[in-house]
Structure formats: C-alpha cells, structure tokens
Amino acid sequence: MTAILTPKRLTPADVLRVGASGLRTHPLRVLLSALGIAIGIAAMVSIVGITASGRAGLNAELAKLGNNLLVVGPAQGALGTDAKLPTEAETMINRIDHVWSVTAVGAVRGAKVYRNDHVPTELSNGITVVASRLNLPAVVSADVAAGSWLTPAAQRFPTVVLGAKAAEWLGFDASNLGGRIWLGGRWYTVIGILRSAALAEELDAVVFVGWENATEDLGFDGHASAVYVRAEESAIGSVHSRLARTANPESPGEVRVSRPSDVLIAKAAADRALTSLLVGLGAVALLVGGIGVANTMVISVLERRAEIGLRRALGATRTQIWVQFLTEAVLLALLGGGSGVILGAAATAAYAMAQHWTMALPGWAVAGAVGATFTIGCLAGIYPAVRAARLAPTEALASN
C-alpha cells in the first residue's frame, strides 16, 4: 500500500520568518530598495500633513481674527483714489441689521511724511497718511506692538501711530517711541506702532492721525476712503449684498465691497492645487520605489536558485515558495513605507512648528500610505514569486 505524503502547512509565523530571512541576508540591497519606497511615502505624507496643518492654521487664524470683516471703499481701488464715499456712509452702514461695529479711515491727500525735515520731498517712500477713527484696531483686529493707540485727547494734538511697515521704513521701534516725524509741513510725535493686520494688510504702510487733527490741521475733507464693517457671521451674505447701495444710494456701482478673509481662503485653494501636483510627484517616486522592489526580488530569485531547489527537493510546494517570495516583497515594501510615514510625520511636525501651526496629520493619509506600500509590495512581488515557484528542483540544483 502506497503512503500518500501531505506537505506540511506553513503557519503565519513560519511565513514571516522565512520571508524575513531573505531580507537579512542582503541588508544593503534591502536598504536601497526600501529607500525608494520611503522617499515616495515620505513625500506624500508630508505634503498631505503640511497642507492639513496649514489649513488648520488658517482656520485658527480666521477664528481668532474673525471671518466676518467686510471692507467698503471706492470702486476704483484702495486708499488714496479720487473716488469718494459720502460723508454719511459710516452712519448709514451702522444702521444695517446684523452689523456689529463700523470704523473708517480716510486718505489725507497731499500730506507727505518724512523721517525729518531734511529729507527731499520726492523721497516719501509711498507711505500714506490717513485720518482714523479711534475704534479701528478693535474692528480690524490690529494689535498695538509698542506704545499706545490714539485716544480722544491725543487725537486733537499732532500725534501719530505707525503701521508695521511704515514704522520699519521710518526707522521706528519700541526703543525710540516719542520721537518725531515731519508730516504735512510740521512735526508729529510717534506714540505707537501697530502689528501687521492680517485682514487689512493695506494698513501696514500707513501713518495714522486723529480724525479731528487731520480735519483741522491737514486739510482732510472728511470722506472715508475705506469703511471696515464687522457683521454677524451667519448674516454676512445679507449684509454684503446691502452695503454698496447703503453706503452710496445714488451710485452703488461706484462702491467696492470686499471680504479680506476670502483672500486667505483663495490662497489656501491655490495651495491645495499645488498640493495635487506635489502628490503626483510623490506617486511617481512610489512607482520608482515599486520598480526597485521588483528588481530586488528578481535578483533575489536568480541568486537563490540553489536554495529554492533544495527547499523543493525537501518537500516545499510551489505555493509555499510563491508565498515565501511574495511575503518577502511585501515586508520589503512595508519596511520602506513605515520609514516613509515616520519621515513624513517628522517633516510635517518640523514645518508646522516653524510656522507656529498645530500639527494635523489626517489618519486617512497614514492609512493610505500603509495601503499603498502593501499594494506595491504585492504587485512588485507577484512576478518574482511566480518565477521562483516555477523552478523545478533538478533545474535549480543543477544550476548551482
């Protein structure tokens, strides 16, 4: 009676041990192959993580500054244009339902500002002089970096507050507050410097004077060049649609209404478009890494023909050989993928820390990276595994 021999089944632990043994025998080759996968995964994870962190940072910034600021001005453009808003524009806008607060600045045309009275008149650096309402910093979320803001008493005297860029251009900081600048043909004392206003960057290159002082001493005509409006966020669309005809009922077409936060959101959208391109480049790197894994496995099959033949002669089945080499390819890809996830997360954390963002790494990005490496390992290992399984024991041993 002939006995029927049944091949012993490999347990999962056996499969992992046998698959890992091939990696341990050629560490340098494994390192270089895994590096290709790691670079691709790190690129994709860091790109997604940095984009998500940037988006989280933007949302946090908008939450802090407010997403409900609207700016009303002449349709021709920014401060200093010939178009004018009616002098009653602020009062009329303040009557709109769901409007919380209103403030304004007005360009003081003809007033030039210089560091001192010896600077040639043509070297004004393009700094704009504006008359300002006292509640401007609160409405536009502009903090005082040094000194103080205009007060009801100070605005009646020749005192000014400098925007962030204007202070830099005029050579002022916290150390020389109280110094004077030459403005409109007379000396003005600098009592404060503002921080950069994220939602009103046009105010950074501005010198602020009190509304009363500008009217009495600098020939200001009382027309606001820009009106800043804070409204209830849930009603921002309704308020936006009513501002132009409220600010200038006779010529609403000559009024420009903008939402500064939309600019930040547009920048984020542009970043997302760029991210898609960079993710594509990361995918190319992954493809190159997958080819490297496949190449390594093919070479491994060629070099280990004797091992394959010996295992086949000792009773290993084609399926067991196939599973061994496929497992080896998957482990190689996962090694590179795991390293790539760690590198990508580290790069995201470093960049977020440098930008003062909260790190945000979506779970789907990590899961996708692991899934991508597993898929690459399977695809890259199929052909070498099949080739190894097809080797006849006699042929493999004879080749040695």
* C-alpha distance from residue 144 to each of 141, 186, 200, 205 (Å): 10, 25, 14, 15
Q: At what angle do helices 27-65 and 318-354 cross, to 10 degrees?
A: 40
Cα–Cα distance measured from residue 304 to residue 371, given in angstroms and rounded to the nearest whole number: 29
- State the burial class of residue 398 (Cβ atoms within 10 Å of its Cβ: 0-12, 13-18, 19+): exposed
Contact 296, 29 (CB under 8 A): yes
Residue with tokens 């394959």: 308
Give the per-residue pLDDT at 105: 93
Residue with tokens 């940072």: 57
3-class DSSP state of 9: coil
Checking 317-321 for CB contacts under 8 A at 24+ apart, the result is 317/7, 318/389, 318/390, 319/389, 320/7, 320/10, 321/385, 321/388, 321/389, 321/391
Give the per-residue pLDDT at 399: 58
User: DSSP assignment of 317-360, as one string?
Assistant: -HHHHHHHHHHHHHHHHHHHHHHHHHHHHHHHHHHHHHTTPPP-
Number of helices followed by number of strands (H, E) in the chain: 12, 11
Which positions ≥6 away from 138 have C-beta within 8 Å? Answer: 101, 103
**For residue 276, which amino acid is it?**
S
Cα–Cα distance measured from residue 345 to residue 14, given in angstroms and rounded to the nearest whole number: 32
Give the per-residue pLDDT at 392: 74
Residue with tokens 């002022």: 172
* C-alpha distance from residue 62 to each of 71, 149, 198 (Å): 16, 24, 9
3-class DSSP state of 199: coil
Catalogue the E-assigned strands of the chain: 69-74, 99-107, 113-114, 128-132, 144-147, 159-162, 180-183, 186-194, 206-210, 226-231, 255-258
Query: What DSSP element (H or E) covers 365?
Result: helix 363-390
Cα–Cα distance measured from residue 227 to residue 248, given in angstroms and rounded to the nearest whole number: 12
Angle at 70 between CA 125 and CA 154, to 5 degrees: 55
Return the structure tokens found at 346.
Answer: 């580290």
Question: Torsions phi, psi of 102, nearest 5?
Answer: -140, 140
Cα–Cα distance measured from residue 133 to residue 145, given in angstroms and rounded to the nearest whole number: 19
* C-alpha distance from residue 185 to each of 50, 115, 116, 181, 398 (Å): 51, 12, 10, 10, 102
Return the structure tokens found at 71.
Answer: 């700016």
Neighbouring-strand partners of residue 255: 74
A 10 A CB-CB count for 387 gives 17
Return the structure tokens found at 121.
Answer: 């008149």
Give the per-residue pLDDT at 78: 44
Cα–Cα distance measured from residue 288 to residue 280, given in angstroms and rounded to the nearest whole number: 13
How confident is the prediction along the chain (400 residues), in pLDDT tens digits per residue? 455 555 567 677 777 777 777 677 778 877 877 787 788 788 878 877 887 787 777 667 666 666 788 888 888 644 444 668 888 988 999 998 888 889 999 999 888 898 888 887 766 667 889 999 999 998 888 889 999 999 998 888 899 999 999 999 999 998 889 999 999 889 999 999 999 887 788 899 999 999 999 998 898 988 998 999 988 877 878 888 888 898 888 888 888 888 766 655 666 665 665 566 666 666 676 677 667 777 777 777 767 777 777 777 777 778 888 888 888 888 888 888 888 889 989 988 998 888 887 888 878 778 888 888 888 888 877 887 787 777 777 665 665 5
Cα–Cα distance measured from residue 291 to residue 336, given in angstroms and rounded to the nearest whole number: 13
